[in-house]
Structure 1
């Protein structure tokens, strides 16, 4: 192995060897950190002196043979150079080792005889690990061979309170040689300039570690250092690996049961070796290497002791819990509270592990039930399907009276999510508060659902007062528990009352508050898709519904799967993507889902798909099923699902206009005059009305749907209005506007190829007229346009008059839709 930055040390050894050749015995004590290259230096110098004609005798101290008397001396005597003296000499020494004086005398005579023939260099690696008998013998030899051609070359890693080292350094012929870490320049000279700085910083210049990093073999080098360092160094390193940032000498001493001074020295050994800096491992992978070199039983014991020690010191619950998870906890009264406390504000995976261990460690049935409820609530966040495994135990705990009110609500909520409605109802028969929120998802389960003044009925009236109450509730709502059904319920109220902009803002706000709760994120994303659908933004509706399914796959949604699924079916159907819509319709859904509030939207979506694909009988069955459920629940509010309008369309497809007209009149009577549902009903009713009324009804429908921000509904109304106007001069412009709105929405069934593009007429405008028309279409007033274009208001008015004439329109609201501002999302 090539030596780097060791020229000075080799030169000093050469001088000592020269003294040896001159008959002056010398001792070189080479000191250095673990892995500093002491062995390499010894081997290199041994080859040098052997080449110079000296006899090189070597031995190695080790932890394994530290208890073997005269183990190192025995190695010297069995060296080939010494054995050349003859077996009688070796035997005499070995058999007289019990009498140290006579044995030393024989050994000295033998070595002197050998040095008369040839200079002798005795190299002992890791002399600090030699047995005490050998050390005593070496000291005696060193004192007796001062005038012999002998050089003792000893390497050591400094040990605390080493009497051998002290005695040796007191001898005048002893010279200390220290090996320092490599400099960055030395690393570069050894390995090349590439990454020399990084490797030096990582290893602190320790040659063993430098080579290991270069060869990508750091773990083995770390283990070599630790095993050369001995049991105390290894135990200290393991304690540092277990304690991490809490690894002070005092803590390590307490953990491994060793004197603090000894621990301090061991830490210093690790520090000088480049493994530790400031009580922490310099390389992130060292901790894993150290722990991997420990048996599972040893690791568990260390972590268990660390947990108790840190708890007694008052450290944070998550710190103590981490050790409890890694080591087998004993049944102490503090273990379960610590684990539960640690789970409260920790990442989900760690919190789940804490709660699982807390449940196993608990012996109190009430406490166990509460922990199981915490587990179910936490697991539901990312995987509702996995959380279902706790429901049976929780149901039994509830019957035994071991759950509080909040936990009962959570259990009922999860039972409903998984379609276990019978079990949910059985658990809350005598609890009206829980029944209130149960009814928000499954109105058929609420015994008071027919009461006109019940909270549920009041909130679902769909009028302005209901929307105001919903918004007031959302201002103070807290996202807690298993699923924030109350917030979901309030958002639905805003959606059903056509407050789509407000619902959008609150939905986005709630999404920001969800944190890492995937189930909540998915639910609010699904509601956001419903809002986009009602606004006629089919692309956004599809995208948001797919995001909801990416957050939570369909099989994990339980009965709520019909929420985002209905959005996908409707968005694809209205976009003319019938093949894709059919795939969503074919996806199986839980039977219990069709009895839920989300089930209404699914039946409506499936019915509209059947209607678009000319399966009028199936469509009518779905729409009537919606109506039957809503009437049975006492919640036949048009804002939820306009089932009468859609049923009327199915009846018209079957050639039954009278029955269709009756349903539409009922719908208009029950809906608010300017509601989105009224706009739908007017459009369909116009198709079975007198020609004189048709255009007026369609114009009112388009106006209402434009107010409510439903772009798809507006496109339908405009297309019907254009057809109703026939050859009227405005028909062509209205058709173009319908085409543009449909194009914006991706409503492909409303995009006939023969509709002329308004761009043809726009081309007839002058440049000045185009600028004025564009600003007017963007919603600017005449005065604002005049300021922007640096003209008079009169000039703007003249330009607009000519624009209206050329485009065949009468008002700025009829400017081409592609130039008008989009409604707020």
Structure 2
């Protein structure tokens, strides 16, 4: 028999073993099952000497010395090896069923290692299902019964779910017994310690350092080490190094496999560096066919929360709302990861900017779990969103108080970066409405002095707000600087706001024609973002109207495009890449390129960056 046929035979035997394990779990020692088991055992004995026989954990569980030995071993407990065998093929549900069977049939005390393995498997399928076991695991950790990779996993679980009271003790025990960890586990320990300090800043002063000697240094290519280094560079404001480390982690991750914690940390690094389009692109890679398709529930929820925040910051309000709602709907009762605070805040901000104030108010009423008050991704995002909602509803004292409280937290936690949350520009807008231009200018000057990594939405927004505090000629210069910065950064809603301010300036200077053209561009961009309150502010008489011209208007520019060309050009104007456009419209990248080429020719432009301004000229009144 050739090798290919041998391999196929062993795969078939493996499937038969799985089926019989499940039959035994449901029906016990039925005579038919025993006969099938005996027959399978004889086949395995005959197949054991053929080339291609599988070796490893399964062979310890399935010794080929007696008929159907695996059934006997499973009945005696199997010490989880059948489950480990199933995990080799990433059959998590099968592994869980095998392990539950092994534990159920034991007559002696269940080893703690098996209990820990059971918890980890259940967590892969349903994070909320393990919450009731957290107190027992925490007690085992304090008593020293939890160690090695099991302890490392539990500490990471505590950090990610905001249960940080025992994190310092767990990390201390891991550091004391580092000799039990392999190189990869040491790398994960470094990453866990860095993420705990970063996501819960008040922990930083009580967490143990991780002493890495030359004999225990993780290999340089290890993703957890690079992810931790990226976070350290971010905190230390080595922004270019942070971006490079984060990108390397993401490029080397396998989107087909379950991405690890290093990927999440790298995405947060890029998010806080204001690399929002990179974050969107990477999230879409890991969420290949939409949020339902990638990884276990907790991972999909985390990705959706990050994707929502990136969409919000680039002005894609519908996507921000969709992904934030997805994340919150997948949040099981009792779980409280820091990404929940981010998703809540994003949903409130997106709903507010879209004019869905009732939805925003109801979301705010949900509040955040008490333990998230110690997590920077929890309380900060909630406070900032509440401030934005107060600003939109003109509750100015409340808005100012929340913006400043958010800033106080960020300064105290040493994470004061506008890429995380631009609290200074929020407070400055309130001061402008209160008539305090000097205080507004002071805050935006502070923000402009902070380092950024390339074109920055927060920098452009600060320039826009500063323009409102200076004379008209200087204002024009600042607004055009803001426009260049925001277009390069890809923040379409902020571009609309700058254009609205430019239109008002043109009107103030008596440049009525330029004012009309600019305000229409602003309105089109706001409409594309579905920012209805801004649309109403710019053209009250067009409230909720479509962007098609009336009968007494002449269509130019985009009117010459076909429907397909228009859809592609609109998405490109909003900053989407060709790949993103292809995914949204269910066409190939080549088709997108062809439509864009035709659109460029008809619109008489040569660069993608010209599209936002040109596409907004679709309505020019002849009245």
TM over 0.5: yes
Query: Could you tell me which of 685, 698, 713 is aligned with 2:479?
Result: 698
Query: Could you tell me which of 426, 429, 432 is aligned with 1:652?
Result: 432
Task: Render the CA deviation track for 1:405-460: whole Å, top value 9, x for unaligned.
Answer: 432232112223433211122221363723123224323312399x9x97633134
Q: Which residue of 2 aligns with 1:341?
A: 85
Q: Which residue of 2 aligns with 1:815?
A: 614
Task: Render the CA deviation track for 1:571-620: whole Å, top value 9, x for unaligned.
Answer: 10111111000111001321221321312222211221121122223322
- State the SS of the aligned residue for 1:589: coil
Residues in 1 aligned to 2:557 and 2:611: alpha-carbon distance in whole angstroms: 18
Query: Could you tell me which of 492, 506, 509 is aligned with 2:268?
Result: 492
Q: Which residue of 1 aligns with 2:525?
A: 741
Kindly tell me: are residues 405 and 441 of structure 1, through their superposed partners in 2, closer, same or farther at Cα, counting changes over 3 Å?
Answer: farther
1:689 CA displacement: 2.0
Contact map agreement 2:301 2:330 (CA 8 A) in 1: yes
Task: Render the CA deviation track for 1:621-658: whole Å, top value 9, x for unaligned.
Answer: 32223222222232212211111111222333444332
- State the SS of the aligned residue for 2:246: helix
Aligned length in residues: 508
Query: Could you tell me which of 507, 517, 534 is aligned with 1:750?
Result: 534
Q: Which residue of 2 aligns with 1:142?
A: none
Contact map agreement 1:545 1:568 (CA 8 A) in 2: yes
Q: Which residue of 2 aligns with 1:502?
A: 278
1:303 CA displacement: 4.9
1:739 CA displacement: 0.5
Contact map agreement 1:344 1:351 (CA 8 A) in 2: no
Matching of residue 605 in structure 1 with residue 385 in structure 2: yes
Query: Could you tell me which of 98, 113, 118 is aligned with 1:375?
Result: 118
Contact map agreement 1:467 1:493 (CA 8 A) in 2: yes
Kindly tell me: are residues 497 and 359 of structure 1, through their superposed partners in 2, closer, same or farther at Cα, counting changes over 3 Å?
Answer: same
Task: Render the CA deviation track for 1:497-543: whole Å, top value 9, x for unaligned.
Answer: 22222222211222349744121112112211111111101111111
1:376 CA displacement: 2.3
Query: Could you tell me which of 425, 432, 436 is aligned with 2:194?
Result: 436
- State the SS of the aligned residue for 1:670: coil
TM-score by length of 2: 0.69
Q: Which residue of 1 aligns with 2:242?
A: 466
1:470 CA displacement: 0.6
Kindly tell me: are residues 739 and 390 of structure 1, through their superposed partners in 2, closer, same or farther at Cα, counting changes over 3 Å?
Answer: same
1:485 CA displacement: 2.9
1:557 CA displacement: 4.6
Matching of residue 689 in structure 1 with residue 470 in structure 2: yes
Contact map agreement 1:594 1:603 (CA 8 A) in 2: no
Task: Render the CA deviation track for 1:539-573: whole Å, top value 9, x for unaligned.
Answer: 11111222223444465454432122112111101
Q: Which residue of 2 aligns with 1:420?
A: 163
Query: Could you tell me which of 39, 61, 76 is aligned with 1:331?
Result: 76
Contact map agreement 2:87 2:95 (CA 8 A) in 1: yes
Contact map agreement 1:381 1:482 (CA 8 A) in 2: no
Query: Could you tell me which of 712, 729, 732 is aligned with 2:493?
Result: 712
Residues in 2 aligned to 1:479 and 1:404: alpha-carbon distance in whole angstroms: 30
CA RMSD, Structure 1 to Structure 2 (Å): 4.6
- State the SS of the aligned residue for 1:598: coil
Q: Which residue of 2 aligns with 1:676?
A: 457
Alignment of 1:491-530 (within 5 A): 491-512=267-288, 515-530=294-309
Residues in 1 aligned to 2:105 and 2:86: alpha-carbon distance in whole angstroms: 15
Residues in 1 aligned to 2:285 and 2:240: alpha-carbon distance in whole angstroms: 22
Alignment of 1:512-661 (within 5 A): 512=288, 515-553=294-332, 555-599=334-378, 600-661=380-441
1:678 CA displacement: 0.8
- State the SS of the aligned residue for 2:486: helix
* Uncovered stretches (5+) of structure 1, i.e. residues with no partner: 1-242, 253-286, 802-810, 821-825
Contact map agreement 1:310 1:320 (CA 8 A) in 2: no
1:389 CA displacement: 2.6
Kindly tell me: are residues 427 and 246 of structure 1, through their superposed partners in 2, closer, same or farther at Cα, counting changes over 3 Å?
Answer: closer
Task: Render the CA deviation track for 1:701-750: whole Å, top value 9, x for unaligned.
Answer: 22222221111111111112211221312111010001100110000111
Contact map agreement 1:397 1:403 (CA 8 A) in 2: yes
Residues in 1 aligned to 2:29 and 2:105: alpha-carbon distance in whole angstroms: 21
Residues in 2 aligned to 1:512 and 1:339: alpha-carbon distance in whole angstroms: 28
Kindly tell me: are residues 296 and 379 of structure 1, through their superposed partners in 2, closer, same or farther at Cα, counting changes over 3 Å?
Answer: closer
Residues in 1 aligned to 2:557 and 2:248: alpha-carbon distance in whole angstroms: 50
Kindly tell me: are residues 555 and 725 of structure 1, through their superposed partners in 2, closer, same or farther at Cα, counting changes over 3 Å?
Answer: farther
Residues in 1 aligned to 2:462 and 2:262: alpha-carbon distance in whole angstroms: 31
* Uncovered stretches (5+) of structure 2, i.e. residues with no partner: 1-12, 48-53, 176-188, 210-227, 574-593
Kindly tell me: are residues 515 and 713 of structure 1, through their superposed partners in 2, closer, same or farther at Cα, counting changes over 3 Å?
Answer: closer
Kindly tell me: are residues 619 and 739 of structure 1, through their superposed partners in 2, closer, same or farther at Cα, counting changes over 3 Å?
Answer: same
- State the SS of the aligned residue for 2:287: helix
Alignment of 1:27-42 (within 5 A): none
TM-score by length of 1: 0.54
Kindly tell me: are residues 608 and 477 of structure 1, through their superposed partners in 2, closer, same or farther at Cα, counting changes over 3 Å?
Answer: same
Contact map agreement 2:249 2:266 (CA 8 A) in 1: yes
Contact map agreement 1:500 1:535 (CA 8 A) in 2: yes
Matching of residue 667 in structure 1 with residue 451 in structure 2: no
Kindly tell me: are residues 363 and 559 of structure 1, through their superposed partners in 2, closer, same or farther at Cα, counting changes over 3 Å?
Answer: farther
Kindly tell me: are residues 335 and 763 of structure 1, through their superposed partners in 2, closer, same or farther at Cα, counting changes over 3 Å?
Answer: same
Task: Render the CA deviation track for 1:339-381: whole Å, top value 9, x for unaligned.
Answer: 442355354433222223334567998x933333332222223
Contact map agreement 2:168 2:206 (CA 8 A) in 1: no
- State the SS of the aligned residue for 1:666: helix
Q: Which residue of 1 aligns with 2:94?
A: 350
Stretch moving more, 622-631 or 529-538: 622-631
Q: Which has the larger radius of gyration?
A: 1
Residues in 1 aligned to 2:456 and 2:470: alpha-carbon distance in whole angstroms: 20
Residues in 2 aligned to 1:760 and 1:422: alpha-carbon distance in whole angstroms: 63
Task: Render the CA deviation track for 1:129-160: whole Å, top value 9, x for unaligned.
Answer: xxxxxxxxxxxxxxxxxxxxxxxxxxxxxxxx
Kindly tell me: are residues 675 and 516 of structure 1, through their superposed partners in 2, closer, same or farther at Cα, counting changes over 3 Å?
Answer: closer
Contact map agreement 2:80 2:114 (CA 8 A) in 1: no
Residues in 2 aligned to 1:542 and 1:678: alpha-carbon distance in whole angstroms: 24
Residues in 2 aligned to 1:578 and 1:768: alpha-carbon distance in whole angstroms: 32
- State the SS of the aligned residue for 1:421: coil
1:488 CA displacement: 1.2
Kindly tell me: are residues 522 and 768 of structure 1, through their superposed partners in 2, closer, same or farther at Cα, counting changes over 3 Å?
Answer: closer
Residues in 2 aligned to 1:619 and 1:481: alpha-carbon distance in whole angstroms: 43
